[in-house]
Structure 1
């Protein structure tokens, strides 16, 4: 992991492609191979031994998850020092040209719908990647279209920004222009649960599914309360009968009482199998929400050619 003078000597920075809460991302060229890569620069909170063991653990998890074709590949890790003398890690990822957010936007701008078979293929790949992470005990906790990288030509989808947010870094500063989106957040998280389960990711998968079909976010709240009300308006206000223990959650209040609507009212152009799968992803009680593995076996995917996925 040690590295000559500066970690950057090995790479030619081409352009900054993103700036998240946890650091900058560059498109860069590896000078030795000519390969285009994505460089993610993260600042470290060091302990007495240098790089914290939590960081090394996170990196080894990322490396292990990289084996899956639907998780963005971590190719290398370089260590450098910035101007202030702090340790900086450069994570070298494979470069993907676009993400699902941009992909959806390109259809929306042309007033087109994404073809149903393309949606099906993307959803299957997403469930497959999520299942791989879950089967290795890793929750993503922030799945959203922006974190799903894509190759436009092959329609290959890969999950990015995995686990890193938790241990590798501290937020550098609050980016005012980048409001942390709540749109894909599960109701139990919005209600302050302390017990995260794999179901939080499956709720996000459901939100992404609906958005692929309609080109717009299904629950677009601008505060946690607003977000919950959007969900309750469509799926009905939950109660102890539907979701045992809901009223004991930390941030539970008395909410307006809405009756559940059919999910098809919000996602009109989805077939019966798709609606059935989506409603299983939108189960209120986390233990009853469909798992990624079960989702892959759902009849919705029966007519999909899975050989190359």
Structure 2
């Protein structure tokens, strides 16, 4: 079945219930939804070439589309997660289609013999993690962050929260274009005040304070915190937070010392960082999610707009 059909079906069910389904174990699915049949495409249409990624979620395989000859990525989800997890991931990613910095989902297919289900994705290349931990100049970081924040704006305007933005989930194309991938932890937004099934998903060094505190009524601000962590990492090299800390230790550290950590970063680690860049970094890493920059607000900040205005004046 085409990804568009899977996404449309997911959206119709969510709209009927007025409760978009959060990604997870799929335990909230009704028996009727579990019995629903999907006419998936065939995995035989793709020649599997090489494993390019593997983790707890499953395996990513570079493959060739036998019909077009083009390269694609096949993501095989581990069977324990069930088809509901595949369906919701496909729906979340399909909802964000059309943005140049979000990996495109092309199809959902199945192997008739093994019963395995694959997401067929745009093939991009290596991850941003492979290009860390060296630091980058502010001008380059600004352009990278502009791309990533604009992608987050598209994700959030599509009523999706990614929940696992990190360097491993940002791919770098042969032309240097950044693309957010892996919507395996993504969820459709719930109404304000309605809790998600999980208080914390994703990866600890990029997890927001509200999730660390056990708050299940979070919102898209969790993605903006992760982008702030990535911005700091691009500027300095190593991750800003986490290390060998537990969730409780990291929360206590952020609660007590976040302001001091950002000030130290500004004055001692990155003394040449512009005031505007520091404002964006501090805005993305605001401890209170209500005070954290949204994607739209961040893109309107002078760190981005003044540079764009200068570039436009040079062209004229």
What TM-score comes out, normalization by structure 1 length? 0.74
| Residue pair 1:97, 1:150 contacting (<8 A) in 2 also | yes
1:157-213 CA-to-partner distances (Å, cap 9, x unmatched) read 111112x3368xxxxxxxxxxxx7310111111111111111111111100000001
> What is the aligned counterpart of 1:224 among 238, 247, 255?
247
Aligned to 2:274: 271
Deviates more, 1:265-274 or 1:186-195: 265-274
- State how far apart, in whole Å, the 1-side matches of 2:275 and 2:210 are: 27
| Residue pair 1:96, 1:149 contacting (<8 A) in 2 also | yes
* SS class of match (1:69): coil
Aligned to 2:179: 158
Aligned to 1:147: 169
Aligned to 1:93: 121
| Residue pair 1:183, 1:221 contacting (<8 A) in 2 also | yes
* SS class of match (1:72): coil
Aligned to 1:131: 153
1:39 aligns with 2:74: yes
Cα separation, partners in 2 of 1:46 and 1:210, compared to 1, 3 Å = closer
Cα separation, partners in 2 of 1:24 and 1:212, compared to 1, 3 Å = same
| Residue pair 1:17, 1:27 contacting (<8 A) in 2 also | yes
* SS class of match (2:204): coil
- State how far apart, in whole Å, the 1-side matches of 2:283 and 2:265 are: 11
How far 1:82 moved relative to its partner? 5.8
How far 1:71 moved relative to its partner? 1.0
Q: Structure 2: give runs of 5+ residues left out of the alignment.
A: 2-38, 188-201
Larger proportion of helix = 2
Matched residue count: 256
1:24 aligns with 2:59: yes
Q: How does 1:170-185 map to 2 (within 5 A)?
A: 181-185=203-207
| Residue pair 2:92, 2:186 contacting (<8 A) in 1 also | no
- State how far apart, in whole Å, the 2-side matches of 1:267 and 1:82 are: 56
Q: Please, what is the CA RMSD of the aligned residues?
A: 2.7
* SS class of match (2:132): helix
| Residue pair 1:214, 1:269 contacting (<8 A) in 2 also | no
* SS class of match (1:24): strand
Cα separation, partners in 2 of 1:42 and 1:227, compared to 1, 3 Å = same
Q: Structure 1: give runs of 5+ residues left out of the alignment.
A: 168-179, 237-257
How far 1:43 moved relative to its partner? 4.2
How far 1:115 moved relative to its partner? 3.3
* SS class of match (1:143): coil
How far 1:104 moved relative to its partner? 2.2
- State how far apart, in whole Å, the 2-side matches of 1:260 and 1:33 are: 50
- State how far apart, in whole Å, the 2-side matches of 1:100 and 1:269 are: 24
* SS class of match (2:293): coil
Cα separation, partners in 2 of 1:279 and 1:165, compared to 1, 3 Å = closer
1:188 aligns with 2:210: yes
